[in-house]
Amino acid sequence: MRVIHVASLVFLLVLTACAARAGEPAGQKDLAAQLEAATRRATSQVYQLRYKWTQGETIRWKVVHLATTEATIQGTTQTSKVRTLSTKVWQVKNVDNAGNATFVHSVSDMNAWQKVSDRPEVRYDSTKDTVPPPEFALAAKTIGVPIVTVTLSPFGRVIQRDKEAAKMDLGLGGIALPLPDQPVALGAEWFVPDEIRVRTESGRSKRIKTRMVYTLRSVKTGIATIGVQKQVLTPVNDPRIKSQLIQQLTRGEVKFDVDAGRLLSRRIDWDETVVGFRGAGSLMKYLARYTEQLLPAPATADKSTKTTR
């Protein structure tokens, strides 16, 4: 995709406008008005955001997740801290003529640490430890094996998946960043509706309507910055329900390579506090960060396979 830098375009438009009016009486055309008009034209540039896959390629991201949960009930406070470092892997098995890609999602390695209040810390490194501690036993079973096989459209829509149980959100917005079907300008927003099931005090299930909001903040040297925020649409006043939503209330940003059609990085933050979730004086705080960073392609990658355009 060819995009002229906005600042350069504005400068050229202003020069053209000034030259065309060099012979007009002074003050007839205010320079500020010319600049404003030029800026409007320059920022009307639209961008087509879409994924581009190569059949047979393997894509890896380094993933870091840090989280601290602090809960105070009847004067007693318990603090839980977790840190995990892992490598997320997508093996692209097929790309059809429409650009839909079928890939296998897996995790190749994990290094995890956990500390709960005054208990001993727990560590697990999948590259060294043959037997994981109980705290990471479930996660250890997913290392090095296919977690889910998914078919995605060029706009990040899930067309098919082989394991519905593997459909995890955790406030991240799904397995892939959804992209708008049509070209969009700076400041454009697109939305993905969803709902979360929570339990009321009586034990009944209740649906809370939410949506992910994506905003195209900027495009510089071919890299798009996209804002991400999870919004709760159903009014919620009960602290008990709020405490169940606390891990879903996310905000952050994504870096996307427009020309390569590739997610470069993702950063998602949580910073929430709920008061009164278990009676007067109870308090829950949740502070976390999740990051992904694209890793260089392996040197043995097959360059002779089919690529979408």
Task: With cut-offs at 50, 70 and 90, classify the pLDDT of residue 175.
Answer: confident
Instruction: Give pLDDT, residue 30.
Output: 72
Q: Does residue 147 share a domain with residue 94?
A: yes
C-alpha distances (whole Å) from 71 to each of 47, 80, 92 are 45, 9, 42
- For residue 283, tell me if it sits in a domain: yes
Is residue 152 in a domain? yes
In this structure, are 72 and 19 located in the same domain? no
Half-sphere exposure of 222 (CA within 13 A, CB side): 10
Shared domain check, 113 and 194:
yes
Name which residue leads in pLDDT, 247 or 124.
124
Domains held by the chain: number: 2
Q: What pLDDT score does 31 carry?
A: 77
Task: Please report the DSSP string for 83-124 in residue order.
Answer: EEEEEEEEEEEEE-TT--EEEEEEEEEEEEEEEETTSPPEEE
DSSP secondary structure letters along 185-203:
ETT-EEEEEEEEEEE-TTS
Domain, as residue range, for 10: 6-44
Helices (H), the chain: 6-20, 31-42, 137-140, 239-245
The answer to whether residues 17 and 143 belong to one domain is no
Asked whether residue 40 falls in the same domain as residue 63, the answer is no
pLDDT range class, residue 32, cuts 50, 70, 90 = confident
Residues 55-68: tens digit of each pLDDT: 999 999 999 999 99
Q: 67 with 36, same domain?
A: no
Asked if residue 138 and residue 21 are part of one domain, the reply reads: no
Whether the CB-CB separation of 148 and 132 falls below 8 Å is answered with no
Residue 301 has pLDDT above 60, yes or no: no
Position 40 scores a pLDDT of 60
- The distance between the two most distant Cα atoms of the chain, rounded to a whole number of Å, is 84
Q: What angle do CA 215, 230, 233 make, to 5 degrees?
A: 110
The predicted pLDDT at position 271 comes to 96
Q: Indicate whether 309 belongs to any domain.
A: no
**Is residue 308 included in any domain, yes or no?**
no
Q: Residue 1 domain-assigned?
A: no
Same domain, 33 and 86: no
How far is Cα of residue 36 from the mean position of the Cα atoms in its chain? 34
> Which whole-number Å values give the CA distances from 45 to 1, 53, 163, 279, in the listed order?
12, 25, 40, 53
**Cα dihedral 155, 160, 166, 171 sign:** positive
**What residue type is 289 in one-letter code?**
R
- pLDDT average, residue stretch 249-265: 96
pLDDT tens digits along 56-99: 999 999 999 999 999 999 999 999 999 999 999 999 999 999 99
The H helix count followed by the E strand count for the chain is 4, 14
Q: Is 66 found in the same domain as 32?
A: no
66 within 8 A of 82, measured Cβ to Cβ:
yes
pLDDT of 6 > 50? The answer is: no
Q: At residue 239, does pLDDT exceed 90?
A: yes
Asked whether residue 9 carries a pLDDT value surpassing 60, the answer given is no
240 and 105, same structural domain? yes
Note the pLDDT of residue 173.
Answer: 65
Percent of the chain's residues with pLDDT above 70:
80
Tell me what the mean pLDDT of segment 158-165 comes to: 80
Q: What pTM, to 2 d.p., does this model score? A: 0.81
| pLDDT value of residue 255 | 98
pLDDT digits (tens, 9 = 90+) for 19-31: 444 455 555 567 7
28 lies in the same domain as 108: no
* One domain for residues 197 and 265: yes
